Structure formats: structure tokens, C-alpha cells
Amino acid sequence: MNDTPAALIPVTVLTGFLGSGKTTLLSALLRHPGMKNVAVLINEFGAVGLDHVLVEKIDGDVVLMQSGCLCCTIRSDLAESLRDLFLKRVRGAVPEFDRVVIETTGLADPAPIIHTLMTDPLVAARYRLDGVVTTVDAVNADDTLDRQIECVKQAAVADRLILTKTDIADAASVERLAKRLRGLNPAAPIIRAAQGAVEPAAILDCGLYDPRTKTADVARWLQAEAYEDHARDHGHDHGHDHDHDHDHAKPDVNRHDASIQAFALTRDAPFTREELGQWLDTLSVYLGPDLLRVKGLLNLDGAPVALHGVQHLFYPLALLKAWPDADRRSKIVFITRDVPRDFVARTLELVGTALAEPAAPVSSSSG
């Protein structure tokens, strides 16, 4: 178990499907004075039209912007780029930066980037994921969500959803899209970009740690009540009898997001280390890539720990200094694909069962 320090450099992953306005948003962010002391890793400088706002070209891969932020080209290997940037910071070859924004390609699943932050030992020793920010085109998103599963996954795993092109989209269509996005990802705030721009404060610092207090802000990060409200709104409150007499329309199976489930689970009894290890191994092995994102506050032998997973990988558990309130239950939120809530709930109910069962006696008879 790892007490994840708030001092690690926070990383924001900026993603969004092709044409969703990600480049326009990034260009506006790079000009914002609130981006001072931020390093931005992008695929190509030219893609965001930076030439006329460059202040200083430090070397072939790094430039210093008027706003004070660094802009760097991602090399073929993201881990190498992050390691190299940190070494330049240590040597004084680039100005100090206290956070990183990584822009993905429009077709990218953000999971591999998150996996790099989780699994590369040198990267994980210096950086931590702060959040995933996804741009969504308010004009064309409905059609794209129907046709492209990657677009759905980008929206489903986001910590912040940025609606772009709302100034040219039909107001009723924007509201329908916002409702659809809340169904995919009930906990992510939906922010409407004005002419492609948002305040950096609206999309940064959405991770577990509050940079002002340097402590964990579990309620803000977990937002378990959003999942609970979502379940009640859709008639899936599993705390009552399962009559399922719903009056809402059956999901359209031709829509990719019909396969996405967002829900929260609680467990009254504390986990032992053996139980938790058994459960996480079960989730990783049997659900794998369909376990899109998991966040949780767990009671581990009476101590509060934060759980964060993406697909089959989990961050080291982060021991928190104190419980956020008097509630000592474990609370876990899930976003899954083609994995129903009841299946995950059943795995949680069975935690510890195998450990508690006595081993079968070995027969002493011989043939």
C-alpha cells in the first residue's frame, strides 16, 4: 500500500474525438495566464497554430509560451517524454512547472496513457493522474456516439466533460446531449465552452488531492451520490424489491452507450487485505477491459484507503490520513461496459467466501 503524496506532479489528460474542438480548447488554454507553470505535451506544435505566440524556443521539443507555460512535443514514447521533461526540470534546462496536460489524438482511448502513469516506475515516482477531460462536439456528438465506441469510452471515463460548439448548436439538441452524457457518466460535471474557451480552474485539480490543502478531498473526487441519484432516476435502486416496473423507454441496443453502466456499491464490513486482494484479482481477470473506471473509498482493516482502477490495472492503494466523515462503509463507484451492476455486486458479496471455506480433505485411499 502506498501513501500517494500530493506533492507528485498532477497530470491532466485532454481527450476528445476528431473534430470535437479539442485543438481549439487547447489553443485557448495555452494563451491563458492561468496556465503559468504548466507543461503541455501535444503531438505536434503546428496542429494548434502556436507559431505567432511563441516567446522562446528552448530546444527542438520545448517552447516557452507568453502565458508562462511550456509546450512540448510528445515523442514516440510518452513515458520517455515525461521522464525527459522531468530531467530537464531538475537540471534547470526548462523553467519549473507544477502540472502537466497531455493532449491525445482524436481516435485515442485514454486508458493506455493512464496505464503509463500507473505502471512505468520512473513516471509513477514523479507524476500522478489528476483527471481526464473530454471534449464533446455539441453539433455532431449524437451521431458520433452512435457510431464510434471510442467516443463513448472517452466520455464515460472523463472527470470533466466539455461541451463545444454550443453557440452554433440547437439548444434543444444540446440539452438532449447533456442528458445522454449524464446517463453515461453521472458524476462528471458538464462544462460549456464559450467560443472554444474555458477557465483552467474548471478542468484542473479534479483528482483526489486538493492542491490548496494538500490533503485528500474524497467527496469531491468520488461523488458517489451522483451515481446513487442516477440509479434512482432510472429505477435501478437495488435497495428495494426488484419488480423493475419501469416506465422509461428500453435502451436502444444500436447505441454504443446502451452497453455502458454507471453505478455505486457499498460494503458495511471492513475488508481484510486477503479479501481485497481476492476481489481485485477477480475483477481484473474476469472483467478486464470492460472495467472502464473504478474509484473507491475502502475500509481496510479499519483504515481509510483510496482505490483507483482503469480496466485491468489498479493504482497502489493510497492510505488517507483520516476518514472524511463518520461513515465507515466502503463506497465504490464503477463505469463498466457490458457488465451489469448485479454481476459486480455479486462478486462483492462473495468476497472472503473462498477464503473462509475449509480445504477439501485429501483422500488417503489408493487405487
Gap between the Cα atoms of 272 and 330, Å rounded: 12
300 grid coordinates: 481496510
pTM: 0.86
Residue corresponding to grid cell 515516482: 125
CATH homologous superfamily for the domain 222-238+255-354: CobW-like, C-terminal domain (3.30.1220.10)
Q: How far apart are CA 75 and CA 66, in angstroms?
A: 23
The separation between CA 176 and the C-alpha centre of its own chain, rounded to angstroms, equals: 23
Angle at 147 between CA 145 and CA 149, to 5 degrees: 65
Taking the C-alpha atoms of residue 10 and residue 39, their distance in angstroms, rounded to an integer, is 11
Question: Could you read off the pLDDT tens digit of each residue along the chain, which spans 367 residues?
Answer: 544 566 899 999 999 988 888 888 888 888 888 898 999 998 766 666 665 565 666 776 788 888 888 888 887 789 999 999 999 999 999 999 999 999 987 777 888 899 999 999 999 999 999 999 999 999 999 899 998 888 999 999 999 999 999 988 999 999 999 999 999 999 999 999 877 789 999 999 999 998 788 889 999 999 999 998 887 766 554 443 334 443 444 445 456 678 899 999 999 999 999 999 999 999 999 898 899 999 999 999 999 999 999 988 898 899 999 999 999 999 999 999 999 999 999 999 888 665 554 444 444 444 3
Segments making up each domain of the chain, as ranges: 9-211, 222-238+255-354
Whether 9-211 and 222-238+255-354 share one fold: the answer is no
Which has the closest alpha carbon to 318: 195, 217, 187? 217
Thinking of the domain 9-211, which architecture would CATH place it in? 3-Layer(aba) Sandwich (3.40)
> Cα separation of 103 and 135, whole Å?
11
How far, in whole angstroms, is CA 208 from its chain's centroid? 11
Task: Report the C-alpha gap between 254 and 157 in whole angstroms.
Answer: 21
